Structures are given as structure tokens and as C-alpha cells.
A and B are shown apart, each in its own frame.
Chain A
């Protein structure tokens, strides 16, 4: 047994009796901090959102919103967090002056009705309020889904409200000013986030281990290949909460520096497998346009703040949104184990439904994307809902033209077979052909031939098949040769 230490709302807490599979939400609620709520227990509704001080990569920290229902409490060992109770005033009836600016805007503008989702909204909104890059938009400039105060509405894409219809919440978000310099939570961001610490908690049935080094991880994983790797817990958390799995060994890998670096080499980029998608999005800053298209469509901000590429690929799921994009980018995976490192092309990684070539004791260290990038790229996600939904079909295109002919092409598909896959027949129909509507049409027919979509609650097989065809035509419509030539000159 080890002791669990955490700072909640500025108050250090120690708890020697935290079960391995107790999630942060239930732990907080057990303390009497019942502001955060369980609405779904699978990271879809955001009612459980809290703020965690995470490293900002520049020596300071960043208040980051996460779903407390997904992460095991022990994964926060040594960390620091703030809940809705800790943002503003003391408990009990309070006047609006005692409230945090976010709370005040929400309360006064009718942003709460039943109030159940509100603490989570307040935390997601506070994270965006403190986002260091947020600045008022230049006058006369307008951006979709962004307030004049620079508030990015996607910050709330993982929070659901059933009462308000969202308008007052949006107005509250867009009315927020810039934090006062003496704001304690702003001041806190100037200081480093708590360092990761090695954690090992054993109970009779299960163990939580955060190894100190990648070598220790490799060693322990080799000993216990049935262990469950834990990065952002956005998938494991769902398994534990909804399907009631109880892994015997959880290996937390999210703080290991070897898995968390972004490196640009001459002929490739290496993305750390345990970097969160939000971190990747910020660090890449649009340098890989296809990934930049993917990020805002990938789950929600709350999920992206924890989820990693390693997790999205590690589960081998056929509907993960990163795989089609990475297939189109011709990515390879760097697999690490006690016996060394190897690199596998992503197109050879998936072997069947939730099965991959990953060997016992092997984990993803990084994703490698070759350079230069194809010039013409697009990612299309078809889902019922634009924010935070699982794809019925997703397609990614990367195409290179030379003098009007297609000199290279890769198309990644998700949601249409037991694994993500490359649309080889369509690629063949395109390669070395002129980029014309006729070529695109032939390729679109080929697209439907190489998948085996299913009927399910998200979409019919017939619709999925049609969407494959349509995505090719949409890609062509949006990247017609003349426009393309014009754009590249």
C-alpha cells in the first residue's frame, strides 16, 4: 500500500485507502465535494469536469479540464486540482460578488436551469477563461464558434445541457473578460505543475503502478503482459465504469518523458504516443494540416485533454478517428519493449477487429509521419452530431499532383470494416491519372468496393457505403484541379 496525495482546491489531502478502480469523481464525491456529478460515466456529458494543473511545456502550468468520471483517482497522485466548489467563494448562500467571473456570468445570464450539468460547464469554461493564448479577436474579425473575447466554443464541446438550449451558456462564455493579474488561479499558472511521482498502490485484487522510467515500464509490462496501459483513461475508464472490467494491473504511462516529446527531423515528425491530443494540437500549431483538420472533430475538448494517439491506436478500434488520418499520412508506429524498439507501418499494424501486430510487452512510444507532406489533404467525418460524436464513416485523403497528374495518393478509411484500412483500389484508380471528375468518379466507385460496412445504431451499411463514394466526390469538389493549381502557385 502507498498513500495517495493530492491537492484539492488548495487543500492538501492524503488518503491511504483508495481502491485501484475508484474513479476521481467518486473519490471527490465521497469527500463531500458533490459539485461534480455523474451524468453518463463515459466522458460524454462533462457533468463531472474538474480542472487539473498540467505542465504547459514551458515551465508553467495550465488549468486543464478533464472528465473526473474516467480517470482513476490514483492517476492524480501528487497532482493538483480545482473543482467548481474551489473556483469561487465559500460554500453556502453567496452573493454574486463572491462568485468567480465564470460562475457569475453563468448565474446571471440564466446559464443554469436544473443546475446538474452546471458545475462541469463552469470548470470547462474556466479552463478556457484561463487559456494563456486566449485574446480578444482583432476588431472586425469574426471566427465561427469563437467569441469576440477569443473564447473557443469547442472548449465546451464535451459538456451537455438538456435544459437551456445552450444560448445563455454561449452568451456567458462570450461575455467573459480577461482574468485579473492578481487572480489566484491565473497566478498559479505561472508556476510549474506538480512533477509526476512514482506511484504504486496494491490491494488484494489489483495494483496501480506509475513507473518512474520507461525502462521500469518495459520491465513490468514484460512481466505482466496482461496489464492495462493507462494514459488518458478515456477508453479504460469507460471499460471500468460501463462494462465493469477490473484490470489486475494498471500501468500509468502518461507522465513518461520518452513518450511525450514532439520532434521534427529532416524526413519525419515524431509524435509522442502519450501526448494528449490537445497538447499535440497546440505544439503542432497547424504544421500538419490534415491533423489540424482532425483535432477539432476528434471527440470533445474534455476528451482531447486526456486522450492520446497511443490510446486511440493501442486499442485497435476500427472507429478511432486518428487511424484514417495517420494512414493517409503514411505514418509508422514506434513500438518499444524490454527487448528494444521497432518500427511498423500503420498500414500493417491492424490485423483484425481490435487486434494488432503489437507483441506481448510492447507498447507504443511514438507515431512517425514522413516528410514532406502531400499538398492536398482532407479529412471527412460523417456522424449524426458535429461535436463529440463517433464516426459512422471517416475518410482521409492525401494526394500529390505533378503537372495535373496524381503522382501519389493515400486514402485512409474508418468505420467501414473490422479495422481501419487503406482504400487501395481507389488509390490505384487515381494513381498516375489526371485529376479530373471522371477519375474521381471511378475512384469513388472503387471506394465502395473495398469496404464491408455494417448496419448499426449509428448508420445503415447502405449509407456508409454511399458516404465512401460521396467523400471522394466531395474531396474532388473541394480540390478541383484549377483551384488546386491556383492555390499551390
Chain B
């Protein structure tokens, strides 16, 4: 059973605020929607690419011979570093050779084979003879920390006097926490399709969230200017950040192949290639010390976050910045000192993934609160609420938390709507009657900053055409990956021009229509491109208002655009398309380039201070689980969410983002597990979970049995397109409520008041060991969970680590 409650539809039946289905839904369900690889199959001359992947975590390529491969029937070309006319690099930091001479991770592609069929290319790749000289490798975060293998910036975010405040705090705890990454597992693997036209211009269809950067990388690899390369992103079968940086090199290989052979080249990764070659969410390690005052308010936090960046920098620096900027989550931490560093390991280069470091930062503080609450003798939910930001307070990086009151408002409304008090009593009854199963309910909040930390990315363009018949075509710089951006852009255009939705059509995203675009990322797609589309439509509307004012004999300011017509007070409305036709004959420009940039944001990267975010998105979730004592397996019985999307541009789309984000976040925290071979054997550095059969993402059995999503009401956000807020990333972090509920359920197996160390992802096995430990059947410090340790330091005379596990002794400090 599930219900969705959404605010009443706006007055516009089809425009902004209307509950519109995805603009491609009809094509999705009939199989008519085309993706990059579908385009490639339509050209019978297409060659197919296959990589030669190195079987070492770290090695030098000592020789690479392609003769045998070229003799395999059906092989058309073997692409190596020697074929690159421009720069042999696929990154923006020039640390990612496209054809490497040094293998940096297990599965690194050293060259690519083009074949008439995929099978021919694969057989060709098997025939390429590569010799390697294995080199020492660093695979785990622990190894990297031990070896001090770091890369990039080492930011520090600080406010107040953390050390002094910790020393003075009546209650202090220290611990560490290591948690895993996450594979994007977009259903569509990476795909590129390149061809060269008669003028030498390269056209690449690519499953990319960042067409402009794909264009730039293809251009620099080919030694061309940007205007020689056009990148189109028709639509993606999911992306989640995994197609922000990772497509570039793949598009460049396809483009290079097309240039070398004069034929269309398709490059589509198989699932295993995709998992073993492309970056993932960063795993993190955290060491922390936290101090609380007598009332359970956080007095100070010191932490060091180490992310596992993999072999190259990619987006690791901004991901780390965002992690630091979200370690506070919804909580006021007056004294804080958080250091960040990026480990370099011989693994895939970890990259953007929905939340972009925010989830990792937030997870650290939620884990701290979940572990400390029993030791403080406070309910974890109360501990959270007590520490919420209050209006006027500022984040550690100096930004005022505008609308901080929404945290409590959302929290209390959620508790009421989800009937938390009554259900807690029922849970207590259930637990008393069931020794072999325990239930628990936990609530967690989200506060997530919206805007790119990198200020220049906060701009967007659009191109809107109105044709003589009154039909409208929009181009904008954002890409569609399922998040419903195009749906929202149509609604924005329809509302701004006051026309029916079916008048508005969207053209595929291409770099030759709107140049210099930002990645569709950071949840900002609708804010930025919506601003640009609205701006373009407003320009056209103003011109049409002049035309209509002339016709009506009034002032342009008094002209209204609504219901597919143009009207002035007391006059009979004129159909939109008639005004358009008149405008054409009066030689009025019917197309416009729109532009938008986010105002009022700035960021000092060196000091980690500023106002990097336009606003914050808020939300909270309440999840109830039932844990089975025999296996540690669990069911998610019910989840209730209230989430703040401002005034929703498109409620069906927004609710879809909230639910999908929640389940994806829950997957990361409870189910999805990347296991690398950390042995010293031949397969060291190899990812063991490299297929859908071994890397499990949530299926129907993981969704909440009852799922209620509410949009926060009366939430207009000023200065953003039609009062809306971004929605892509923030709901992912609502999944933390599930992990915290698991922790509380585990606690219920024990005597109560005991800290629960819970591995992450909190798989049934991790939950099983945690409950064994809590119920005293297994000695502490063992088990298949993340390496953790903690102790309470009681101002010199405090109890040791073991004693800290006892709530009574902790109370006595």
C-alpha cells in the first residue's frame, strides 16, 4: 500500500505545477525512445569498439603488439597512443592518459580494437599482445593512509576553537568509521557513437551529462577546435553523476576511431566493462572526536575525512569540499575543525554520484549521533532535533542557514503525519512479545546546499524558437537522464508564454545549439536551465506584448499570456498563434537566446568560507524496520517523507525524484557492496562484484512496504524559477533513516543504552554481527563489519574503551 500526497495543482492545468507525466513517457513504454546505442545500430556501416583491459592493479606496459589482432577476421583498426593527433588525455586535469603506458588499476584499458561486429572487436582485443611489468600497488584506504598516498588539495574547514571546546566538553567520544562506495548502475551503460561529416566535423552522440566538456576533450584529443566537434546527448538511461566526467574518454576513443577509419564508430561498454572501468561514489574513512554539553548539544567536532579517490583526481576535490560542507547536516556545531584528504589508490577513479560528497559528510555525523545517543542516554531522534540549526545561525563555512525553522517544522509535521508516537508504543509491544524479531523506527533530517561550489558552473543558456504557426521549440543546455528536466522545461516555457503544453517541443541537447554549458549536475538542472528558458521566453513574450498592445490599443504591461491566448483587460482574447503570425508580418524576432546565472553566491576555496549555496533543500524521513535475529535480514515496513522542493514545478516528477533518491540512498547504505580483491594474489585490485549478479541493487523487495511522500507546503523559494527548489540529490540522504532504524532495532536485542557499531553497508551480515555483539553472544571487536573503534575520553579520568560500552559507567562520567 502506498499513497502519494501532493499539493493541489496550480491554476495552470498543464504548465508549471501541473502533475504532468514524463515528456517521453509514451516513447518509454512503447520502446520507441532511442538511446545512443540504438542510434548506432541504425547505421549498417558502424564499427564497434572493444577495450584491451589490463589484468594488473599497477604495472608498466613494456610492449604492445597489435599485428595479430589486425589479422583477426573482421578487425578494422587497433587504436593506440600513436594514433592520437592531439593530446593523449581524457581528463580536465591532464592526469588521465587516454592510452596509458602505466596501468593504474585492474581493468584499465590500454588500447581499443574496432571491428565489423562486437564479437570481431572482442576477438581482436584478445589477440592484442601486451606485456606488463607489475608494480607495487595500493588498493585499500588503510594502505593509502599508511603509505601516505594522497593526491590533490587537503582542505581544512574550521570555526571556533574545536580543541579547547572538546577539552572543556563534559561528554566526549572518539571513534572512526569506514564506509563503502557505490556503483551508479545506470541501466544504460556508457555509449558513444561518432562519425565524421564531409567537412571534417565530428559528431558524437554520447551518453553524457556534460556535453560541453565531452566536446572539449574530444577536440583536444583530436587536435581540433571546439567548433569542429558537436556532441549530442539525446537522452540517457540513467546517469546519477556517473556520466559527468566518465564519458569523455570513451567519446574520444569513438571519435578517434571515426576519424581514423572514416566510418561511424560505436562504443558501448558491457556491464562488466562499465563497472570495472568507470568511477563510483567515493568510499570514505573518518576519524572523529565529538563533545556534547550537559543538554546533549554538540559543543565541538574534530574530524579527518579521507576519501578514496582512486587512481586520478577526476572530481575528487569538489566531492571532498561538499563532504566537508555537509558534515554539519542539519546541526549547529559551534566549534569545528574538519580536515579532508584524498587517497590515491590503484582503483577506478571515483567520481560524482548523486549527492557528490554530501552524503558522505552527512553520514559521518548521523553515524556519530546514532552511536552516541544511547551513551548520552537520549533518544537518537531527540538528540537530532535538539541540535537543529535555529534561524540566524550560520554553517561552519559562514553561510546563514536561511529558513532553518523549516527543519523543526518538517520534523514535527512528519512525526505527526507518520503517527510516530503511537507506532513507537506499538513497536515496544511487538518487541516485548518477539524475542526473535525486533522493530524500530528512526527519523533523520536532510539539509542540502544547492549550487555548484565551483561558481562558474552556475550559469546556463537556452534557445527558444517560436514558429509562425505558434509552435514552440526549446533548446537548452541541460541533459535528460530520467530526472524529468525536459518535462519541467516544457512546463516552464508553456507557463511563461501562456500556451498549451503540446505547443512546446523540446529539441535534443546539442553543443551546436547552446554552447559552453555546465554539467547537468548538482541538482541544478532545472534551476539553471529553467532560468534560461524562462528568460528566453520572456524576451519573446515582451516582443509579442508590444504586438498585442498595438492590436488592442493598450500598454504592453497590461497584456496577459494565458490559456493559449493573449488578452488585455476588457478585450476579447486573441489566440496565441494569431499574435505570433502578426508579429512575423511586423518583422518581430520570434526566437531568443536565454541566459541565467545564479546571483549572490561566492566561495573562497582556500579558506573554505563563503556563501556557496543559493539556498538549502530540507527534508526528513521516518523509517520503520523489522530485523530477524536468526539471520540479521530485515524488512523495511514503512517510510514517511516530507521534503522541501519549494513550489513544485512538476509534482509527479519531484515525487519520483524523492522516492527514487530515497531507495537509491537506502541501497547504498544497506545493500550495495563493492568488494575489491585486497589479497596479494594475481587478482589483487580486481573488483569481485562486477556484474548485476554480484553487485545487488535494490529490487521490489527493498522498497518500503508502505511509502508515503509529502511535499513540504507553502515553500516558495524566492529568486528561483517559479519558486521551485532543486530535487535531484537531497532525497538520497533520506535513506539514512533506514540505517539508523536498523541500528535502533539492533539495540533492542540488547539490554538497551548500548552503543551499536554497525558496518556500512549495513547488509544482513553486518546487522547480524552487530546484534550478536549487542546481545552479548559474541566478543566485541571481531566480525565482518567495518573496522571501527571508539572510546569515551572522560577528561583524563574517564573509563577505557570497554567501559564506554556500558551505559551506566558512561553516565557516571
Instruction: Name A residues whose Cβ lies closer than 8 Å to a Cβ of B.
Output: 29-30, 32-37, 39-42, 44-45, 47, 83-85, 87-89, 91-96, 99, 102-104, 106-119, 122, 145, 153, 156-157, 160-168, 170-171, 238, 242, 244, 382, 384-390, 392, 456-460, 462-463, 466-467, 470-471, 473-474, 477
- Complex contacts, B803 vs chain A, CB 8 Å: none
Instruction: Give the distance in Å from the alpha carbon of A84 to the alpha carbon of B30 in the complex.
Output: 5
- Complex contacts, B24 vs chain A, CB 8 Å: 112, 115
| Residue pair A42, B693 in contact (C-beta under 8 Å) | yes
* A-B residue pairs, 3 tightest by C-beta: A35-B31, A114-B482, A116-B237
Specify which of A47, A83, A111 lies most central, judged by the most chain B CB atoms within 10 Å of its CB: A111
Closest to B784 in A: A460
Contacts A35-B32, A244-B122, A460-B784 given: A157-B27 contact, CB under 8 Å?
no
- Complex contacts, B186 vs chain A, CB 8 Å: 114, 116, 162
| Residue pair B701, A385 in contact (C-beta under 8 Å) | yes
A338 CB to nearest B CB, Å: 34
| Residue pair A384, B696 in contact (C-beta under 8 Å) | yes
Interface: B718 (CB within 8 A): no
Instruction: Give the distance in Å from the alpha carbon of A416 to the alpha carbon of B37 in the complex.
Output: 41
Contacts A29-B41, A460-B765 given: A385-B26 contact, CB under 8 Å?
no
B710 CB to nearest A CB, Å: 14
B555 CB to nearest A CB, Å: 40
Closest to B765 in A: A463
| Residue pair B32, A37 in contact (C-beta under 8 Å) | no
| Residue pair B699, A42 in contact (C-beta under 8 Å) | no
Specify which of B271, B484, B764, B765 is in contact with A40 (CB 8 Å cutoff): B271
Interface: B261 (CB within 8 A): no
| Residue pair B28, A162 in contact (C-beta under 8 Å) | no
The count of A-to-B residue pairs whose CB atoms sit within 8 angstroms is 251
30 A-B pairs with C-beta separation under 8 A: A34-B41, A39-B189, A40-B692, A45-B692, A84-B29, A89-B30, A91-B30, A96-B26, A106-B28, A110-B22, A110-B652, A113-B483, A114-B187, A114-B237, A115-B482, A117-B237, A118-B28, A157-B700, A160-B187, A163-B482, A166-B703, A167-B2, A167-B659, A170-B703, A384-B671, A384-B763, A386-B633, A459-B784, A470-B630, A474-B436
- Complex contacts, B29 vs chain A, CB 8 Å: 84, 88, 99, 102-104, 106-107, 111-112, 115, 118-119, 122
| Residue pair B694, A458 in contact (C-beta under 8 Å) | yes
Specify which of B4, B28, B41, B633 lies most central, judged by the most chain A CB atoms within 10 Å of its CB: B28
Interface: B97 (CB within 8 A): no
Specify which of B237, B662, B688 is in contact with A37 (CB 8 Å cutoff): B237
| Residue pair A114, B25 in contact (C-beta under 8 Å) | no
Instruction: Give the distance in Å from the alpha carbon of A88 to the alpha carbon of B27 in the complex.
Output: 11
Instruction: Give the distance in Å from the alpha carbon of A387 to the alpha carbon of B700 in the complex.
Output: 7
Specify which of B29, B38, B694, B701 lies most central, judged by the most chain A CB atoms within 10 Å of its CB: B29
Interface: B656 (CB within 8 A): yes
Instruction: Give the distance in Å from the alpha carbon of A199 to the alpha carbon of B271 in the complex.
Output: 32
Q: Mark B118-136, 1 if CB is under 8 A from A, else 0.
A: 0000100000000000000
| Residue pair B660, A116 in contact (C-beta under 8 Å) | no
- Complex contacts, A88 vs chain B, CB 8 Å: 29-30
Instruction: Give the distance in Å from the alpha carbon of A466 to the alpha carbon of B671 in the complex.
Output: 20
Closest to A473 in B: B630
Specify which of B28, B631, B664 is in contact with A382 (CB 8 Å cutoff): B631
| Residue pair B25, A156 in contact (C-beta under 8 Å) | no
Instruction: Give the distance in Å from the alpha carbon of A458 to the alpha carbon of B675 in the complex.
Output: 9
State which size class the interface on B falls in: 35 or more
Chain B, 20-61, CB within 8 A of any chain A CB: 21-22, 24-35, 37-38, 41-42
Q: What would 8 more interface pairs be, CB under 8 Å, given A110-B25, A164-B660?
A: A47-B187, A113-B22, A116-B186, A162-B186, A165-B663, A165-B707, A385-B698, A385-B699
Interface: B655 (CB within 8 A): yes
A146 CB to nearest B CB, Å: 12
Closest to A144 in B: B705
- Complex contacts, A96 vs chain B, CB 8 Å: 26
- Complex contacts, A99 vs chain B, CB 8 Å: 26, 29-30
| Residue pair A33, B35 in contact (C-beta under 8 Å) | no
Instruction: Give the distance in Å from the alpha carbon of A94 to the alpha carbon of B33 in the complex.
Output: 12
- Complex contacts, B31 vs chain A, CB 8 Å: 33-36, 83-85, 118-119, 122
| Residue pair B664, A165 in contact (C-beta under 8 Å) | yes
Instruction: Give the distance in Å from the alpha carbon of A156 to the alpha carbon of B700 in the complex.
Output: 8
Interface: B272 (CB within 8 A): yes
- Complex contacts, B656 vs chain A, CB 8 Å: 110, 113, 163-165, 168
Interface: B447 (CB within 8 A): no
Instruction: Give the distance in Å from the alpha carbon of A357 to the alpha carbon of B701 in the complex.
Output: 38
Instruction: Give the distance in Å from the alpha carbon of A115 to the alpha carbon of B653 in the complex.
Output: 13
Closest to B783 in A: A462
- Complex contacts, B621 vs chain A, CB 8 Å: none
Instruction: Give the distance in Å from the alpha carbon of A37 to the alpha carbon of B35 in the complex.
Output: 10
A103 CB to nearest B CB, Å: 4
Interface: B308 (CB within 8 A): no
Specify which of B26, B663, B673, B783 lies most central, judged by the most chain A CB atoms within 10 Å of its CB: B26
Instruction: Give the distance in Å from the alpha carbon of A387 to the alpha carbon of B675 in the complex.
Output: 21
Instruction: Give the distance in Å from the alpha carbon of A8 to the alpha carbon of B482 in the complex.
Output: 29
- Complex contacts, A170 vs chain B, CB 8 Å: 2, 700, 703
Closest to B703 in A: A166
| Residue pair B691, A44 in contact (C-beta under 8 Å) | yes
B354 CB to nearest A CB, Å: 11
Q: Mark B312-355, 1 if CB is under 8 A from A, else 0.
A: 00000000000000000000000000000000000000000000
| Residue pair B38, A114 in contact (C-beta under 8 Å) | no
- Complex contacts, A238 vs chain B, CB 8 Å: 693
Interface: B356 (CB within 8 A): no
- Complex contacts, B484 vs chain A, CB 8 Å: 113
Interface: B174 (CB within 8 A): no
Instruction: Give the distance in Å from the alpha carbon of A452 to the alpha carbon of B27 in the complex.
Output: 51
A380 CB to nearest B CB, Å: 8
Closest to A388 in B: B699
- Complex contacts, B62 vs chain A, CB 8 Å: none
| Residue pair B694, A39 in contact (C-beta under 8 Å) | no
Instruction: Give the distance in Å from the alpha carbon of A234 to the alpha carbon of B204 in the complex.
Output: 36
Specify which of A94, A111, A165 is in contact with B30 (CB 8 Å cutoff): A94
Specify which of B33, B240, B689 is in contact with A115 (CB 8 Å cutoff): B33
